[in-house]
């Protein structure tokens, strides 16, 4: 006897008009059940935890690419939020969630900066890299109508995925293709579209182009078990244990239950159990990786009805074969993927591998050059953390606060001195948050902060905003003693000079600071230290707010709310400064930097017209900064502005290289050396739209090594580690391709 409940469940599990004969009651009840087992319950908890973190906006890294993919680690399935709806999002055929995921899952350039999603995507990257052996990949694809949009996207993205894998691995990457359907499909249950494993791109692309969807009748459930069994048992896998073997399953529906039978459709039943498939895969050394795809709009209800079954099926296969599962059923993830898909495709420059011996050699070379140079500037090495000047327990980091601007001014001036490395505001903020939670005394907190930041000195004090009266001190890391204490009324830009003057006048207090003071006071740095930031206190405040906001923004992913808002703050303050003092070069330089970072954000999200407008603004501001650079007392900043102008505005690459080479001199401030190496690494890699004649990959690699060796914890160093997949355990890179991300932008010549 057929009940109304059974009719309802069947309607949710069919792709076409239901036949007169319904599913058996037990099967219909099982398909309609929301029970997903203990594994699914654990995954539901994990998914809620991850999404809570995502909503809080936890992020790390530098301003590069947006989060792309959320996937489940083998053994941890991401459970579907209530009432998932694949039809909530309309995607172009060429930009489906599956196609976007395929295009990015093996690209280090696209690793999300957010802790939540980045850790998950890295499982695919870790699986892909670090192996010199050959790789055989069997693509097992659901070829039914419910996958029509995703199938088109997969067709357009497999080539890019394989290219990413080829960049990752030393050995040959070969692919084969199996398509499965359902019992009632016109072309049969399964087709081996590419029967051999081949590395020939033309052959693979021809096979991929032949993929076409067809009816998956009679039910929404399919035969992925048959597709997997065919791939595992009938493809000519290598017998060599040195060859890595993967299956990649793309599907939107689960297999039939082992208990389901229907006399009218004798072939519509489960053929192979999970246990058998895993056992066969293990015997051949095959990892099963699963991608849970979205379904077509006219299958929303059946997709929702069985997505938990699909998820549990895939998770079990992946977890028990040491594979990875990627879950694309989340609307939020689909939205992120769609936004990511608007990004232009990036080209790469192939570098030779880099290892720990290369970094050690670079450090020895730098020490040798410094010793040979013999100048105090080349041998000074001091690290300073400057904290906002207000009580530790209530410190805030708003760029508009006087307490923050004092710290910004001191940090900016110290960073312009040879041999001085300053700690970033964001690093200070993170460590202070942890220290406050520990309930330490002031002395303990200062010493703890210095230790965690590896800073030789912490500069901290107080400020009276109404009078600009500043009291500050330099605290030594080893004992927490305030070795220099000063008070000052006036332009915040001169506080660093007051500190160093005090150190110079009292040599017994601290030999290291005294040596630094002697170096600064006896060189061209003296004029820089004594020069006011601007003509008026109001303009100085705007410039310091812009500088602080810009520096803070660079610590966040470029698409993050934090970065976007901080760039807006920096832009508003810099514009106010140049409106008050039109010939202030620092204001125009800040505006050019803000506009460039905003252009990068627009470019990455596919807003090309907006990005071009920002680049026009950037070049205009950079031109003004270049024309007024004679007013800049800091030689390093003047040289940097000239280099950027020659590269991006004048398009004189030879002169740009000459300027950047000046920046990497050991007598220059460390921050300037870092920027010089960064720009030269890009130019010699063929980035920035430079002519091919300037490309020199050996030189590019050497500048990359310098950054990794001497500035490993800088934003640039962290970015290179991500791109090149630096492995701390093995001490070597796993992905030896440097992305050339500025080529197209640098060629826009509206100015």
DSSP string, 373-384: H--HHHH--EEE
Distance CA 448, CA 334 (A): 43
Query: Among residues 15, 14, 13, which one has the least CA distance to residue 214?
Result: 15
Scanning 3-133, the segments in alpha helix (DSSP H) are 4-12, 25-32, 37-56, 97-104, 115-128
Is there a shared CATH topology between the 4-77+90-341 domain and the 537-746 domain? no
CATH topology of domain 537-746: 1.25.40
First to last CA, the chain: 78
Quick one: tokens of 110? 């696209």
The tokens of 516 are what? 């630094």
All residues at 6 or more sequence positions from 318 whose CB lies less than 8 Å from its CB, including other chains = 72, 74, 75, 288, 289, 290, 324, 325
Shortest CA distance to 163 belongs to which of 247, 106, 209, 110? 106
Element (H, E) at 325: strand 325-327
Predicted local confidence at residue 95, as pLDDT? 59
* Gyration radius of the chain's alpha carbons: 30
Task: Profile the chain (751 residues) by mean pLDDT over runs of 10 residues.
Answer: 31 34 32 38 39 34 28 30 33 52 61 36 54 87 82 77 82 93 83 94 90 73 93 96 93 88 83 95 94 79 86 92 82 62 76 96 85 61 94 91 96 92 92 82 86 94 88 93 93 92 89 88 75 91 96 83 94 98 96 94 86 94 95 91 95 97 93 96 95 96 97 91 89 89 77 41
Report the alpha-carbon distance of residue 594 to residue 543 in Å, rounded: 13
Closest CA to 590 of 632, 527, 635, 653: 632
What is the rounded distance in angstroms from the CA atom of residue 16 to the CA atom of residue 299?
9
Please answer whether residues 216 and 146 qualify as being in contact, where contact means their C-beta atoms are separated by less than 8 angstroms: yes
Which two three-digit tokens encode residue 375?
């100048």
- Residues with Cβ within 8 Å of residue 610, at least 6 apart in sequence: 599, 602
135-192: pLDDT as tens digits: 999 999 998 888 777 777 777 778 888 888 888 777 899 999 999 988 777 888 999 9
Q: Where are the alpha helices (DSSP H) in 483-524?
A: 495-505, 511-521
User: Which are the contacts of 365, defined by CB distance < 8 A and separation ≥ 6?
Assistant: none
C-alpha 312/C-alpha 295 separation (Å) is: 17
Query: What superfamily in CATH does domain 4-77+90-341 come from?
Result: von Willebrand factor, type A domain (3.40.50.410)
pLDDT, residue 278, reads 96
Measured in degrees and rounded to the nearest 5, phi and psi for residue 484 equal: -130, 130
pTM metric for this prediction? 0.69
Give residue 144's pLDDT.
Answer: 86
Q: Would you give the DSSP letter of residue 222?
A: B
**Where are the chain's structural domains?**
4-77+90-341, 386-530, 537-746
Ranges of H-type helices in 244-299:
274-284
d(C-alpha 291, C-alpha 311), whole Å: 9
**Which residue bears the tokens 């969630």?**
97
Encode pLDDT of 603-656 as tens digits. Answer: 887 888 999 999 999 999 999 999 999 999 889 999 999 999 999 999 999 999
- Per-residue pLDDT, 170: 76
Tokens of 373: 């140079």
* Token pair of 332 as six digits: 């939020």
Residue 636's contacts (CB-CB under 8 Å, 6 or more residues apart) are: 416, 663, 668, 669, 671, 672
Q: How many helices and strands, by DSSP H and E, does the chain display?
A: 29, 15
- What is residue 292's three-state secondary structure? strand
Taking the C-alpha atoms of residue 346 and residue 599, their distance in angstroms, rounded to an integer, is 16
Q: Taking CA 659 as the corner, what is the angle to CA 657 and CA 660, rounded to the nearest 5 degrees?
A: 65
Question: Nearest 5°: phi and psi at 472?
Answer: -145, 160
């Amino acid at each position: 006897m057929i009940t109304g409940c059974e009719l309802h469940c069947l309607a949710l599990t069919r792709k076409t008009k239901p036949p007169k004969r319904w599913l058996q009651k037990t099967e219909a009840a099982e398909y309609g059940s929301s029970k997903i087992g203990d594994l699914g319950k654990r995954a539901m908890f994990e998914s809620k935890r991850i999404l809570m973190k995502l909503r809080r906006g936890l992020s790390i890294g530098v301003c590069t690419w947006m989060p792309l993919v959320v996937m489940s680690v083998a053994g941890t399935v991401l459970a579907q939020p209530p009432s998932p709806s694949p039809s909530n999002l309309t995607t172009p055929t060429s930009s489906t969630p599956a196609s976007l995921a395929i295009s990015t899952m093996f690209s280090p350039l696209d690793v999300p900066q957010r802790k939540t999603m980045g850790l998950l995507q890295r499982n695919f990257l870790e699986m892909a890299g670090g192996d010199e052996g050959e790789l055989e990949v069997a693509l097992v694809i659901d070829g039914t109508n419910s996958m029509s949009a995703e199938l088109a996207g997969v067709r357009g993205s497999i080539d890019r995925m394989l290219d990413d894998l080829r960049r990752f691995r030393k050995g040959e990457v070969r692919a084969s293709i199996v398509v499965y359907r359902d019992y009632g499909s016109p072309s049969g249950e399964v087709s081996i579209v590419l029967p051999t494993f081949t590395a020939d791109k033309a052959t693979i692309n021809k096979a991929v182009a032949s993929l076409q969807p067809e009816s998956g009748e009679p039910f929404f459930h399919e035969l992925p078990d048959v597709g997997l069994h065919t791939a595992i048992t009938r493809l000519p896998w290598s017998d060599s244990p040195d060859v890595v073997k993967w299956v990649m399953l793309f599907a939107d529906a689960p297999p039939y239950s082992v208990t389901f039978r229907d006399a009218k459709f004798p072939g519509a039943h489960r053929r192979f159990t999970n246990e058998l498939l895993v056992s066969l895969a293990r015997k051949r050394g095959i990892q099963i990786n699963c991608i849970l795809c979205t379904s077509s709009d006219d299958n929303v209800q059946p997709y929702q009805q069985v997505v938990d079954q699909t998820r549990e099926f895939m998770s079990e296969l992946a977890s028990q074969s040491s594979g990875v599962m990627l879950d694309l059923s989340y609307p939020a993830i689909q939205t992120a993927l769609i936004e990511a898909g608007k990004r232009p495709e990036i080209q790469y420059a192939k570098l030779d591998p880099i290892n720990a011996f290369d970094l050690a050699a670079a450090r020895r070379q730098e020490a040798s050059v410094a010793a040979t140079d013999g100048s105090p500037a080349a041998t000074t090495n001091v690290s300073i953390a400057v904290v906002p000047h207000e009580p530790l327990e209530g410190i805030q980091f708003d760029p508009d606060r006087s307490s923050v601007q004092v710290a910004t001014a001191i940090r900016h001036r110290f960073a312009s001195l040879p041999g001085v490395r300053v700690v970033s505001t964001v690093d200070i903020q993170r460590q202070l948050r942890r220290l406050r939670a520990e309930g330490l005394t002031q002395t303990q907190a200062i010493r703890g902060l210095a230790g965690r930041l590896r800073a030789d000195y912490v500069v901290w004090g107080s400020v009276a905003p109404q009078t600009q009266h500043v009291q500050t001190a330099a605290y030594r890391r080893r004992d927490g003693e305030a070795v220099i204490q000063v008070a000052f009324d006036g332009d915040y830009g001169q506080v660093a000079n007051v500190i160093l003057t005090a150190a110079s006048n009292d040599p017994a207090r601290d030999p290291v600071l005294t040596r630094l003071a002697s170096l600064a006071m006896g060189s061209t740095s003296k004029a820089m230290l004594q020069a006011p930031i601007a003509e008026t206190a109001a303009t100085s405040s705007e410039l310091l707010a812009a500088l602080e906001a810009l520096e803070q923004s660079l610590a966040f992913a470029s698409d993050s709310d934090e970065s976007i808002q901080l760039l807006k703050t920096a832009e508003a303050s810099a514009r106010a400064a140049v409106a008050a003092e039109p010939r202030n070069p620092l204001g125009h330089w800040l505006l050019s930097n803000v506009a460039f970072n905003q252009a990068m954000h627009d470019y990455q999200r596919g807003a090309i017209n907006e990005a071009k407008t920002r680049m026009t603004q950037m070049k205009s501001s950079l031109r003004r900064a270049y024309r007024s650079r004679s007013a800049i007392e800091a030689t390093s900043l003047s040289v940097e502005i000239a280099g950027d102008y020659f590269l991006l505005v004048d398009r004189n690459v030879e002169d740009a290289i000459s300027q950047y080479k000046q920046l990497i001199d050991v007598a220059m401030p460390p921050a300037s050396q870092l920027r010089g190496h960064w720009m030269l690494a890009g130019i010699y890699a063929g980035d920035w739209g430079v002519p091919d004649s300037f490309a020199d990959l050996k030189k590019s690699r050497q500048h990359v090594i310098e950054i990794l060796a001497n500035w490993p914890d800088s934003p640039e160093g962290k970015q290179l580690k991500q791109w090149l997949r630096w492995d701390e355990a093995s001490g070597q890179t796993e992905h030896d391709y440097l992305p050339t991300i500025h080529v197209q932008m640098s060629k826009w010549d509206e100015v």
